[in-house]
Amino acid sequence: MPNILARLSSAVVFLILAAFPGSSGAYADEPRPSLVDIGGVKLNSILIKAGRRADLPPIVFIHGASASLYDPMFSFRTKLEGRADLLFVDRPGHGASDAGNPPMILPDGQADAIAQLMKKRGIGKAIIVGHSFGGAIAAALALRHPEKVAGLVLLSPAVYPWEGGVAWYYDAATVPVTGPLFSALIVPPVGLLAIDRSTNAVFWPNHRPANYVRETRAVQALRPAAFWHNAMEVKALSSWAKTASLKYSRIKAPTVIITGDADKIVSPAVHAQRLARDISRAKLVVVHNLGHKSDYVASDLAIEAIKRVAGQKANLAAVQKTTEQRIAGDGKR
């Protein structure tokens, strides 16, 4: 039976990847990913070295749930390439990275893994940019490895416990015995049919780029092992945050938090606004009519935040205003 399931799952995933040419494998102009052993676990990453005109310290990007390193690359590579060493990481269990041991389901374990990867890739101290679930890992990194963190830019972070549980499909995927069956046989075909709607919902009320699914290899999240791992992470996050959030006041790194008041995925009131109160001197920017994809829709604002935590002159208010004017009509037509 397991062999039959594995073959069926592989066949479905093959069809999914075939449906999106370019969803796996590198583009011609893309740096080659590197699998690095950090102690029995291999993490996949892409390091783009700074050019001669670099004006920023190294930056490490941590993606959110159901994603990979290609998500932040899609948002930031073009705008930041040459200005700093840029490290894009596949979190454990995502993209081409190993899932690792059970503790790596939690942000603490993933923060430890990324700290080791930074060391292996020659990055001492960096600005950490974390989106959504990646915000929890960025916070854990600042608490557990403060010597690695020059500053934090947290984009629509998910960092506190919440009420109401998780989506039904995460519950279904994490049930013993039937969960793996659900992830292997139901998720790939149904996910392929729903991927357009679901990715649009993550961006709402803002507009999802037409090439987003292809450029970010979003269909890779439908692979059974990746989906199951992601479900386990999301389901464990709220319980982890009950304890971890008690320590956020210890974070001393310069911090900017960016969120949208139209975010229906991660509540700004539950997460970003509370975090701004807990981290001393953190700067909170709430963008009107911005949904959950602050990393892409408000990437210019995020870059201004990177400059600020790097100690450079930055005008967050001006870029916030420009961003709000650009997206003012989103969701109204």
Is residue 37 a part of any domain in this protein?
Answer: yes
What's the confidence (pLDDT) of residue 23?
A: 43
Given pLDDT bands bounded at 50, 70 and 90, which one contains residue 67?
A: very high
Given pLDDT bands bounded at 50, 70 and 90, which one contains residue 5?
A: very low
**What is the rounded distance in angstroms from the CA atom of residue 217 to the CA atom of residue 90?**
12
**Helices 316-327 and 299-309: angle between axes, nearest 10 degrees:** 170
Query: Does residue 46 surpass a pLDDT of 50?
Result: yes
Is residue 10 a part of any domain in this protein?
Answer: no
Is residue 112 a part of any domain in this protein?
Answer: yes
Is residue 175 a part of any domain in this protein?
Answer: no
What's the confidence (pLDDT) of residue 52?
A: 85
What's the confidence (pLDDT) of residue 305?
A: 98
What's the confidence (pLDDT) of residue 17?
A: 53
Is residue 21 a part of any domain in this protein?
Answer: no
Given pLDDT bands bounded at 50, 70 and 90, which one contains residue 249?
A: very high
Digit-coded pLDDT (tens) for 96-117: 999 999 999 999 999 999 999 9
Counting the structural domains of the chain, the total is 1
Given pLDDT bands bounded at 50, 70 and 90, which one contains residue 26?
A: very low
Given pLDDT bands bounded at 50, 70 and 90, which one contains residue 51?
A: confident
Collapse the DSSP code of 54 into the 3-class scheme (helix H, G, I; strand E, B; otherwise coil) and give the result.
coil
Is residue 83 a part of any domain in this protein?
Answer: yes
What's the confidence (pLDDT) of residue 333?
A: 60
Given pLDDT bands bounded at 50, 70 and 90, which one contains residue 332?
A: confident
pTM over 0.85: yes
Is residue 134 a part of any domain in this protein?
Answer: yes
What's the confidence (pLDDT) of residue 18?
A: 53
Of 226, 182, 184, 174, which is closest to residue 6 (Cα–Cα)? Answer: 184
Query: Does residue 66 surpass a pLDDT of 80?
Result: yes
As given in the structure block, the two tokens for residue 280 are: 């001393």
What's the confidence (pLDDT) of residue 113?
A: 97
- CB-based contact 264:278 (threshold 8 Å): no
Q: Please name every residue paired with 284 in a beta bridge, in sequence order, or none if there are none.
A: 257
17-21, 48-52, 172-176: least confidently modelled range: 17-21
**What is the rounded distance in angstroms from the CA atom of residue 124 to the CA atom of residue 115?**
9
**What is the rounded distance in angstroms from the CA atom of residue 233 to the CA atom of residue 218?**
18
Q: Indicate which CATH number applies to the domain containing 140.
A: 3.40.50.1820
What is the chain's mean pLDDT, rounded?
92
Is residue 149 a part of any domain in this protein?
Answer: yes
> Residue 39 belongs to what domain range?
30-170+235-325
**What is the rounded distance in angstroms from the CA atom of residue 190 to the CA atom of residue 192?**
5
Digit-coded pLDDT (tens) for 185-201: 999 999 999 999 999 99
Query: Residue-wise over 61-86: b if at least 16 C-beta within 10 A, else e?
Result: bbbbbbbbbbbbbbbbbeebeebbbb
